[in-house]
Amino acid sequence: MTEINKDELSWDEWDELMRPTEETTGFDRVVEAGLSRRGFLNGLVAFGSGAAVMGLGTGVNLLNTASAQAQDAGRFAFTPVTTATDATVHVPEGYTWDLLVKWGDKLFSDAAEFDHATGGDAESSDRVFGENTDGMELFVFGDKQVIAVNHEYVNPKINLPHTEDGKPQAAADVRKLQNLQGVAVIEVAEGENGWSVVVDSPYNRRITHNTPMRISGPAAGHDLLKTEADPTGTQSLGTFNNCGAGKTPWGTYLTCEENFNGYFGSTDENYERPEDFKRYGINNESRYNYEKFDDRFDISKNFNEPRRAGYIVEIDPGDPTSTPVKRTALGRFKHENAACAVARDGRVVVYMGDDERGEFLYKFVSDGVYTPGASTDNLLDEGTLYVARFNDDGSGEWLALTEETTGMSTAEISIYSRMAASKVGATTMDRPEWVAVNPVAVEAYCALTNNKNRAVKPNAGGDPTPVNGPNPRAENHYGQIVRWYPANDDHVDPGFKWDLFVMAGNPLVHEDAYAGSANINDGNLFNSPDGMMFDTSGLLWIQTDGNYKNEGDFAGMGNNQMLVGDPVTGRIERFMTVPYGSEVTGITWSADKRTLFVGIQHPAAPFPDGEGKLARSSVIAVKRADNGRIG
């Protein structure tokens, strides 16, 4: 019998193991049998007459790939790469890649050089580039370029090689892991030898699991957020599991707390968890044993501490002395990223996914309007949180979470957002990962990465998850990208139309809906879309975090990859493959758009230092050999 090694599970698999939900019957277990692939799509995407979506001018899903290629060849300035299963990065011919920074690289000259024997010096672990790079954004201050980048989680067996199983043996081990996560702010510069971090730049900063934060918005000061150490409920320490990111229109960084639940545990194994802990997956067993050495993470002693995590945090990358602000009005869930838009009247819209099987897609709309130059401090504190309902006919609506609709106070809606969303009948989704807002059309996209529980189990709140419009496949292990077109071309409008931009799948293995949509072909196979970002020309860059075994259902897909999609034609081509075992996540551009920065997270391959060396999560810089623009 194979023992499950919990340390090697992904965060979502770990969650699933810790919190098994009852299998249920009565759901539609399979996508309707006998539907041909194209027939399936006609029903799904074109919505009967198709007029509703086609009328908007962008709902072209049922493309014929060959003719689309003829029409839009000029939009893709590269020759697609083939799949790979090896230990390095591949980019198209005529492009190059180089390392910008990797885990353990010094941000300050007084930090120790990285040591492969120790997994890096513990003392200076908050003065180096952290682990598991994820979402990032580039900011320009005069002639300086500064990247803010997330460090989502750690790989403790690699980070603590002196331990047998990667479990911290002492408070110092916990402190090291805490230091390697959070956020880095780094000044970067391009010189004769390419891009590098400007060591000792006054912009350089590490934000960790212990950095002081201010809590703002409706939940600030609420009893549920008060602890012995902070009786005000407004001052917390640290930001956790920083996954995707976002950039506000006023130039601050939004870092998104995703699987925060895994850091908390109980030293009392009989501790009876409150109900809300179950919905959020906070268990007596933690992932890294913080609670054994740091009381703050012991829920039997500090049961409000996890309620101070799971938010979006705003950071000013231009001021290294600024205090990050937890913006509770944006809700508390497993935040993937934060995609901002400014509505016609100046109100600020933030789209956000809750990445867990059967959870929801959210939108925040500010009360105030954004006026360049005016104070922005309250814009993300006062407003309304909405959750999406997708109807099978291609329409949808944003349901407001208010005292009237939920029977909860505004503070409770901010802290228990999942429960609020369950009350209003939102659509359960296939793990909403990144949202991206198209800069050249009024539309937004969300990567629904996969959901093996679709039509198998309810979500953690007991909401049923039958197949539904944007989540049309039971036991969906390939994922899809849904997009929506706000009514009246206005992101604050509560109505929208939607369609699927792509359903990933494998036409080499399947002939039914699991073959994917018609814009999937043997040249662009992929699974599990996750990171997404638009470039300035309106092309969508898609990053995957999926199964890289290259066999069975995933045969022919190879390692994780980054693809480029054209929203107008639906054409998708593969731009990059990454080392085996790694996820490609996080993407941003240099000020002149001639460099594309891309994150390589948790490689299993000995990347980038080679055999016999520790694998190190890295950010790479991709350029065109002719130094042309990339996006």
User: What is the pairing mode between strands 480-486 and 495-503?
Assistant: antiparallel
Q: Which of residues 419-438 bind ligand FEO (CB under 6 A)?
A: 433
Q: What string marks each residue from 117 to 156 as x (binds ligand FEO by CB under 6 A) or -?
A: -----------------------------------x----
d(CA 128, CA 174): 16
Q: Which of residues 518-537 bind Ca ion (CB under 5 A)?
A: 530
State the number of CA atoms in the 13 A half-sphere of 460 facing the CB.
Answer: 27
Q: Residue 359 binds what, of Ca ion, ligand FEO, none (CB under 5 to 8 Å, by partner type)?
A: none
Residue closer to ligand FEO (CB basis): 518 or 600: 600
Strand order in the sheet with 572-577: 529-534, 540-544, 561-565, 572-577
For residues 543-564, one letter each, b for 16 or more C-beta atoms within 10 angstroms of the residue's C-beta and e for the rest, the string is: bbbbbbeeeebbeebbbbbbbb
Residue closer to ligand FEO (CB basis): 262 or 458: 262
Residue closer to Ca ion (CB basis): 279 or 602: 602
3-class DSSP string for 109-172: CCCCCCCCCCCCCCCCCCCECCCCEEEEEEEEECCEEEEEEEECCCCHHHHCCCCCCCCCCCHH
Q: Which of residues 413-442 bind Ca ion (CB under 5 A)?
A: 433
Q: How far is CA 616 from CA 114, 324, 619, in A?
A: 11, 27, 10
Q: Residue 16 binds what, of ligand FEO, Ca ion, none (CB under 5 to 8 Å, by partner type)?
A: none
Max Cα–Cα distance, the chain, nearest Å: 66
CB of 544 to ligand FEO, least distance (A): 12
Cβ pair 17, 6 in contact under 8 A: yes
E-assigned strands of 42-113?
A: 95-102
Q: What string marks each residue from 341 to 370 as x (binds ligand FEO by CB under 6 A) or -?
A: --------------x---------------
CB of 422 to ligand FEO, least distance (A): 20
**Residue 545 found at the interface with Ca ion (CB under 5 A):** yes
**Residue 535 found at the interface with ligand FEO (CB under 6 A):** no
Q: Which of residues 238-277 bind ligand FEO (CB under 6 A)?
A: 243, 258
CB of 23 to Ca ion, least distance (A): 23
Cβ pair 99, 620 in contact under 8 A: yes
Residue closer to ligand FEO (CB basis): 40 or 103: 103
d(CA 136, CA 179): 18
Q: Which of 257, 336, 412, 573 binds ligand FEO (CB under 6 A)?
A: 336
CB of 253 to Ca ion, least distance (A): 17
d(CA 241, CA 336): 10
Dihedral sign, Cα of residue 7, residue 13, residue 14, residue 20 = negative
Q: What string marks each residue from 152 to 181 as x (binds ligand FEO by CB under 6 A) or -?
A: x-----------------------------
For ligand FEO, the binding residues (CB under 6 A) are 152, 243, 258, 336, 355, 433
For Ca ion, the binding residues (CB under 5 A) are 433, 530, 545, 583
